[in-house]
Amino acid sequence: MEPLLLDGNRVATEVKDSLREKVISLKETGITPCLATVLVGDDSSSATYVKMKGNACAKIGMESRKIHLPKETTTSELLEIINELNEDSTVHGILLQHPVPHQIDERAAFEAISIEKDVDGVTSLGFGQNSLGFGEYPSCTPAAIMSIIDYYNVSLEGKHAVVVGRSPILGKPVSMMLLNRNATVTTCHSYTENLKDILSQADIVVAAVGKPRFIQGDWLKEGAVVLDAGYNKGNVGDIDYEACYEKASAITPVPGGVGPVTISMLLKQTVDSAEKYGVSIQNS
């Protein structure tokens, strides 16, 4: 029996369709949801990502404000820009494009983003709130994974979820989100021993390791649900898709799986911020 294809494009389309209606309603009250993207330097991939996010904003009627700083920018100069955006009541979300040039203290820059505008879920405060179960804006890729799970009614309660990867904006937060939904969670990483044995026990697998075709089909339990958050050169994810397809009961494709939903979560969280904080500022 073929696995259920967890179609991220379908999920993202429905999210964006609902957001268009919210944006229209907000504009009628004088509020246009605005995402400010800050790009430091001339990394071509980063510039492409920023352009994609700007286009996505335009398609649902949001404003995208792009701030492009030279590669020589210092930490203090970047912090000044972020603080200006924090103070700007017409900006509802701030995204600092990763990576930044080596001379910048990236963590200090992330921490400078106001929690009300941390729609990309990069601050330690946002991570802590999300881990405790009341964060408003989780990191967007984990939020996308959970949205796909909810859309397709994937059961989590009591299931063994194995997350392969522990990055602060993907592996760690999605582990916490799954745990908060009553899954039993194992988080694996580059030092994990017997990874194959651990994965063979997983009901749900989240691949977030950043290595192309890393997870093999014969590592999986028959009927596992596989969510591939990787995107590598050659349009391949972190799993060996063909081999994992044979074992899975449900699986995300790459491309067209987690990626499109990640962008829609960024838009959603910016619109949510405009709806909550923009309206309150306007009424104060």
Question: Hey, which residues are catalytic here?
Answer: 53, 97, 120
* The token pair that represents 187 in the structure block: 């988080």
190/211 Cα distance (integer angstroms): 11
Nearest to 77 by CA among 50, 41, 47: 41
Q: Residue 236 gets which letter from DSSP?
A: B
**For residue 263, which of 160, 119, 156 has the smallest C-alpha distance?**
119
- As a whole number of angstroms, the distance between CA 185 and CA 205 comes to 10
Phi-psi region of 80 (alpha: psi -120 to 50; beta: other; left: phi over 0): alpha
Distances in Å between the Cα of 96 and the Cα atoms of 99, 122, 196, 246, 275 are 9, 9, 36, 39, 22
How many CB atoms are located within 10 Å of the residue 256 CB?
17
